[in-house]
Amino acid sequence: MHPLKPFSWSIAIALLALSACSDNNDTAEKVGQKIDKAADSAKEKLAESSDAIRQETRTAKAAFNDVALASKVKAEISKDSMLKKSDISVDSQNGAVVLSGVVEKPEDAIRAVQIARAVDDVRSVENKLSVRSNS
């Protein structure tokens, strides 16, 4: 749901309340109470929308940081001449990096893990690399 939609609904309810009051010849006090209630509801919905926007912003920022970290690790691995024939994928979530794919020999997997650990902001490295069979 769009974050501002509840706010729009609150405004519509307030307008309906006002028109209903004028149709029923309610007293000014009742009209004021209904307006206050609608305004409180609108404030509450706006606060909920603001919270939702803040949460979505944090989520987007975390996803961006994950992609950026994975890209940095991948770039560092790509620079290593020993790993040129390797096919290594890099994923990241909250600083935890996962290496997967195929390397030529066991030493290449160890080297890739070492490179990944040396990148700033990497908290841990999980090695899911397999060694290519020479069949």
- Assess whether pLDDT exceeds 70 at residue 88: yes
In sequence order, what are the residues at sequence separation of 6 or more whose Cβ sits closer than 8 angstroms to the Cβ of residue 106?
A: 131
Confidence of residue 56 (pLDDT cuts 50, 70, 90): confident
Give the angle subtended at the CA of 9 by the CAs of 8 and 10, to the nearest 5°. 90
- Assess whether pLDDT exceeds 90 at residue 53: no
- Assess whether pLDDT exceeds 90 at residue 130: yes
- Assess whether pLDDT exceeds 90 at residue 122: yes
- Assess whether pLDDT exceeds 60 at residue 2: no
In sequence order, what are the residues at sequence separation of 6 or more whose Cβ sits closer than 8 angstroms to the Cβ of residue 123?
A: 94, 95, 96
Does pTM top 0.85 for this prediction? no
Burial of 104 from C-beta contacts in 10 A (0-12 / 13-18 / 19+)? middle
Most confident of 1-5, 32-36, 56-60: 56-60
pLDDT in tens, 58-80: 888 888 899 999 999 999 999 99
CA 100 from chain center: how many Å?
Answer: 23
pLDDT for the residue numbered 131: 93
- The pairing of strands 124-131 and 87-93 is unpaired
Tell me the domain boundaries of the chain.
5-60, 62-131
Confidence of residue 21 (pLDDT cuts 50, 70, 90): low
What is the second-level CATH architecture of the domain 62-131? 2-Layer Sandwich (3.30)
